[in-house]
Amino acid sequence: MNKIAVFSSGGDAPGMNACIRAIVRSAIYNGLEVYGIRRGYSGMIKGEIFKMESSSVSNIIQRGGTILKSARCKEFTTKEGRQQAYDNLKKFGIDGLVAIGGDGTFTGANIFYEEFGIPTIGAPGTIDNDLYGTDYTIGYDTAINTAINAIDKIRDTADSHERVFFVEVMGRDSGYIAIPCAVGGGAEIVMIPETKTTISKVVETLRTGWSRSKTSFIVIVAEGDEEGTAVEIAAKVQKEIPQMDARVTILGHVQRGGAPSAADRMLASQLGIACVEGLLQGQACVMAGIVNSQLVYTPFIDTISKVKAINPTMSRMIDILSV
């Protein structure tokens, strides 16, 4: 292997830049030529490929987002699109790839390897922390800290006005962001897709709280919850408790930005190096991750198909802590 390329794909996450930096520098350290691909698979198809030097990644470790840009690319799901991408990689003589992204990114890389034999190693880059094969994904720690920061501010105004706030956090189909936001943000209720929390349970918890002289409440809603969005859930609860003074806050893409935390910079740097070393060892179609403090390479197929289950005792913590 002489020439590798790095790209970021799917939703961006704080720490992606730190990971790009680690990949570029460890490639150079190991005597490889390294290229960047802009806009993920879309740039691969369009030939947005450029040579990177150590200086290309100076002064980015602290920056959120991704200097390589990111995109979700429909064209790469077609054989023609992938053929075009392969032709472009061949033009540059690229014989290995490092993909920073989530399961959609790795699904594409897996098919690409089966068809064209270009080995890819993945670094888990998503705020959702929903990838099997790593305890934490790059960007997760920063995102939950950003969210908790916002919840602290919401708590101030909730307390002053004695209101119920329904705060929606990201996470797609998972409650990994919602749980620490609820525990760390001191919420009374958390609603996640993995466990069922009915509207009547929410109503009951609020009524019990009022009877114990609580005057303000925070309900954390994971965006994928089965009862609906925070707006819908707030409306359903309002129907049951017309006198409730409620507000809804959707934290949204605020959670995706900002300078990466120390933990994310460390994880991104460690996994970036692991990706390059994995390629040099001849690995393909695996994601580098940290499980129980150990570096592991998990086949993409497992990362994509297996579920990283949420510890069920986590929701229980919120019941205990909000008494």
Binding residues (CB under 6 A) for ligand F6P: these are: 11, 102, 126-128, 170-172, 223, 256
How near is the Cβ of 1 to ligand F6P at its closest, in Å? 30
Residues making up the chain, counted from first to last? 323
- Judged by beta carbon, residue 25 or residue 69, the one nearer ligand F6P is 69
Of residues 180 and 209, the one with the C-beta less far from ligand F6P: 180
Minimum distance between the CB of residue 297 and ligand F6P, rounded to whole angstroms?
22
**What DSSP character marks residue 133?**
T
Whether 292 contacts 136, CB under 8 Å: no
- The neighbouring-strand residues paired with 37 are 49
DSSP state of 309: P
Active-site annotation, residues? 128
> Measured in whole angstroms, how far is the alpha carbon of residue 143 from the centre of its chain?
8
Q: How far is CA 233 from CA 16, 155, 219, 241, in A?
A: 34, 19, 10, 12
Residue 284 · residue 119 · CB < 8 Å: yes
CA distances (Å), origin 154, targets 1, 110, 217, 219, 230: 52, 43, 10, 11, 15
Cβ pair 30, 139 in contact under 8 A = no
User: Shortest Cβ distance from residue 172 to ligand F6P (Å)?
Assistant: 4
Nearer to ligand F6P, 16 or 89 (CB): 16
Tokens in use for 25? 């520098």
State in angstroms the smallest separation of the CB of 253 from ligand F6P. Answer: 6
In the complex with ligand F6P, the residue whose CB is nearer, 75 or 277, is 75
| Shortest distance in whole angstroms from residue 148 CB to ligand F6P | 16
DSSP structure string for 260-305: PPHHHHHHHHHHHHHHHHHHHTT--SEEEEEETTEEEEEEHHHHHH
Smallest gap from Cβ 101 to ligand F6P, in A, equals: 9
Distances (CA, A) of 70 to 61, 82, 105, 162, 316: 17, 17, 11, 41, 37
Q: Which is nearer to ligand F6P, 88 or 126 (CB)?
A: 126
Q: CB nearer to ligand F6P: give 129 or 283.
A: 129
